[in-house]
């Protein structure tokens, strides 16, 4: 879901990164804390101290968000759900799941872990704030900790709203999933409440803007929009899963792909492959064995002189070897790999030998066809058919 990210650090094997949109949130929080919140709760606060408190408060908030996401990630790991990492972005943080949870129980516990962690932090900050002296020196610090206690309570409570993709929506979905055994229906319902909450927040935002509270209003509307979008995409993903779980990669891959022999000079590749076929990448093989792929972007970086001198083998990129899938895997699994590597194209290999190429475009086409025909029409036969 993110483009370029800035890696920060790793804790217990989880990579924490910043999405670029995060800077917007950081500035907004420091600004609203140092201009609004702290001057309001501490009498006679000078602007410089207010700015320092704003920065400390924002750091505390980001620590709290990472703590929250971290607890999701820890529980996910207990259930072998791979986590790509923890990313801070404009609306807070997210522990990025590489796969959906395998069972209702795992989703339930994983989702609940975050809000519980935030409540625990809220209590801890509340206690610290109470222990600090109320004298002038201790007052600003106590104000920061009280703020963190309040914000963690809000964070936990808001996230418990039963609207997908919030944690509460996941808890809600897991409960219905566990109860009915029907993940599709559970997702539909949870996404439905997500849409209702998102719409409500957008309306609230518009009212806030009309009543003169522009920043808060914009914020509410944006979060509403985000929730609606995420609810929709989780539903789409669910539909895809329903259509694609039973489809093996071999059925949707393009077999006998156009390949480049490892020894071919770049000049020839440009002329006979990139110009001729219009693809952006070509697999490079030696014999039948896949060595990597040659990408248009890498060729473009070469000086003209080098193009005559180098061969496919010199410029191939081996990251193709991670972007492979077996012909017998399900297409759903292939899409997990695509999401993990942020690519729309996988090479299909069996024992290191190239068998075909699977593209997101072909998968989408298949889903579109299945949707037209109807979920039940293919490939299993219905009971009536068996009698006929
Ligand atoms: Zn959460």
Q: Which residues contact 215 (CB under 8 A, 6 or more apart)?
A: 28, 32
Nearest Cα neighbor of 15 from 78, 113, 83 is 83
Measured in Å, residue 373 CA sits from the centre of ligand 1 at 38
The answer on 239 and 265 residing in a single domain is no
Residues 253 and 233 reside in one and the same domain: no
Q: How far is the centre of ligand 1, averaged over its atoms, from the C-alpha of 132 (Å)?
A: 29
- Average pLDDT across the chain, whole number: 84
Per the domain annotation, does 169 fall within a domain?
A: no
Per-residue pLDDT for 114 more than 80? yes
pLDDT at 220 over 80: yes
**For residue 48, is it within any domain?**
yes
Same domain, 83 and 112: yes
Residues 130 and 193 grouped into a single domain: no
Domain presence at residue 388: no
Domain boundary among 160, 195, 210: 160
Say if residue 115 is in the same domain as residue 83: yes
Q: Longest C-alpha distance within the chain, in Å? A: 87
Distance from residue 87's CA to the centre of ligand 1 (Å):
12
Q: What is the pLDDT of residue 2?
A: 63
Distance (Å, whole) CA 297 – CA 300: 5
Q: What are the pLDDT digits (tens) for 288-324?
A: 888 888 888 888 888 888 888 888 888 888 888 888 8
Query: What's the gap in Å between 71 CA and the centre of ligand 1?
Result: 9
Sorted by sequence, the CB contacts under 8 Å of residue 36 that are 6+ apart come out as: none
pLDDT (mean) for 112-135: 88
Give the per-residue pLDDT at 7: 81
pLDDT of residue 134: 66
Same domain, 333 and 365: yes
Say which CATH number the domain at 318 has.
Answer: 3.10.580.10
Q: Do 184 and 234 touch, CB atoms closer than 8 A?
A: no
First to last CA, the chain: 47
- Could you tell me the pLDDT band of residue 355, with boundaries at 50, 70 and 90? confident
* Each residue's pLDDT tens digit, 130-177: 887 765 555 788 888 989 999 999 989 989 988 888 899 999 999 999
Residue 242 has pLDDT above 80, yes or no: no
Residues 335 and 364 in one domain: yes
User: Do 100 and 15 have their domain in common?
Assistant: yes
Considering the domain architecture, whether residues 146 and 204 belong to the same structural domain is answered as: no
- Cα(306)–Cα(50) distance, rounded to whole angstroms? 58
In tens, the pLDDT along 248-294 reads 998 889 888 888 888 888 888 888 888 888 888 888 888 888 888 88
Span from the CA of 327 to the centroid of ligand 1 (angstroms): 36
Query: How far is it, in rounded angstroms, from Cα 36 to Cα 54?
Result: 10
* pTM for the model: 0.70
> What mean pLDDT is predicted for residues 56-67?
91
Same-domain check for residues 214 and 193: yes
Domain-located, residue 68: yes
Domain containing residue 139 = 5-160
Q: How confident is the model at residue 380 (pLDDT cuts 50, 70, 90)?
A: very low
* Ligand 1 geometric centre to CA of 68 (Å): 6
15 and 155 inside one domain: yes
CA of 220 to the centre of ligand 1 (A): 18
Q: Please give the distance, rounded to the nearest whole angstrom, from the Cα atom of residue 69 to the centre of ligand 1.
A: 6
Q: What is the pLDDT of residue 374?
A: 61
For residue 131, report the distance from its CA to the centre of ligand 1, in Å.
29
Please give the distance, rounded to the nearest whole angstrom, from the Cα atom of residue 196 to the centre of ligand 1. 19
85 Cα: distance to centroid of ligand 1 (angstroms): 14
pLDDT at 376 over 70: no
Ligand 1 center to 93 CA (angstroms) = 8
Whether 284 contacts 291, CB under 8 Å: yes
What average pLDDT does this structure show over 354-379?
76
∠ at Cα 254 (253, 257), nearest 5°? 130
CA of 48 to the centre of ligand 1 (A): 34
**How many domains are there within the chain?**
3
Cα 17–Cα 325–Cα 3 angle in degrees, nearest 5: 25
Task: Specify if 167 maps to a domain.
Answer: no
Asked if 140 contacts 45 with a C-beta cutoff of 8 angstroms, the reply is yes
pLDDT of residue 385: 32
> Tokens standing for 333?
């699994």
* Contact between residue 269 and residue 299 where contact means Cβ atoms under 8 Å apart: yes
> Residue 364 domain-assigned?
yes
Whether residue 38 contacts residue 54, with contact meaning beta carbons closer than 8 Å, is answered with: yes
Rounded Cα distance between 256 and 267, Å, is 23
Q: How far is the CA of 92 from the centre of ligand 1 (A)?
A: 10
Residues whose Cβ atom is located within 5 A of ion ligand 1: 114, 159, 167
Quick: pLDDT tens for 79-110. 888 888 888 888 778 888 877 788 889 999 99
For residue 115, how far is its CA from the centre of ligand 1 (angstroms)? 6
CA of 13 to the centre of ligand 1 (A): 19
Nearby residues of 120 by Cβ (< 8 Å), 6 or more positions away: none
Last residue of a domain, one of 244, 265, 282: 244
Alpha helices in the chain (DSSP H): 22-32, 38-41, 47-78, 104-131, 139-159, 167-180, 183-210, 214-244, 249-252, 266-269, 275-277, 296-300, 304-309, 312-315, 331-341, 360-373, 383-387
Residue 254 lies in a domain: yes
Which residue's entry shows tokens 């309306």? Answer: 203
pLDDT of 238 > 50? The answer is yes
Residues 366 and 272 in one domain: yes
382 inside domain: no
Q: How far is the CA of 111 from the centre of ligand 1 (A)?
A: 6
Strands of the 83-89 sheet, one edge to the other: 5-11, 14-19, 83-89, 92-97
């Amino acid at each position: 879901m993110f483009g370029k990210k800035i890696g920060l650090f790793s804790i217990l094997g989880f990579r924490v990164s910043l999405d670029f949109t995060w800077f917007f949130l950081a500035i907004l929080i420091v600004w609203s804390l140092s201009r609004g919140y702290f001057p309001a709760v501490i009498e006679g606060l000078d602007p410089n101290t207010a700015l320092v408190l704003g920065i400390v408060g924002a750091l505390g908030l980001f620590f709290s968000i990472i703590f929250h996401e971290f607890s999701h990630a820890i529980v996910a790991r207990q259930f072998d759900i791979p986590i790509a990492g923890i990313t801070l972005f404009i609306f807070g943080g997210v522990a990025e799941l590489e796969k959906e949870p395998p069972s209702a129980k795992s989703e339930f516990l994983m989702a609940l872990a975050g809000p519980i962690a935030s409540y625990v932090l809220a209590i801890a900050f509340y206690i610290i704030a109470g222990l600090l002296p109320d004298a002038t020196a201790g007052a600003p610090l106590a104000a920061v900790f009280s703020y963190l206690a309040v914000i963690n309570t809000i964070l936990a409570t808001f996230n418990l709203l039963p609207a997908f993709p919030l944690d509460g929506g996941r808890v809600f979905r897991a409960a219905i999933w566990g109860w009915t055994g029907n993940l599709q229906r559970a997702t539909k319902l949870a996404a439905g409440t997500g849409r209702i909450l998102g719409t409500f927040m957008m309306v609230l935002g518009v009212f806030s803007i009309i009543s003169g509270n522009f920043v808060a209003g914009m914020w509410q509307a944006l979060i509403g929009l985000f929730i609606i979008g995420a609810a929709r995409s989780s539903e789409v993903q669910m539909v895809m899963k329903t259509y694609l779980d039973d489809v093996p990669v071999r059925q949707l891959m393009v077999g006998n792909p156009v390949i480049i022999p490892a020894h071919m000079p770049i000049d020839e590749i440009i002329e006979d492959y990139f110009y001729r076929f219009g693809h952006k990448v070509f697999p490079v093989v030696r014999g039948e064995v896949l060595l990597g792929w040659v990408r248009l972007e890498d060729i473009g970086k070469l000086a003209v002189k080098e193009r005559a001198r180098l061969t496919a083998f010199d410029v191939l990129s081996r990251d193709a070897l991670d972007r492979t899938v077996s012909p017998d895997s399900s297409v759903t699994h292939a899409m997990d790999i695509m999401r993990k590597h942020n690519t729309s194209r996988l090479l299909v290999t069996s024992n290191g030998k190239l068998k075909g190429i699977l593209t997101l475009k072909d998968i989408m086409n298949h889903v579109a066809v299945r949707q037209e025909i109807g979920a039940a029409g293919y490939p299993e036969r219905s009971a009536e058919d068996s009698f006929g």
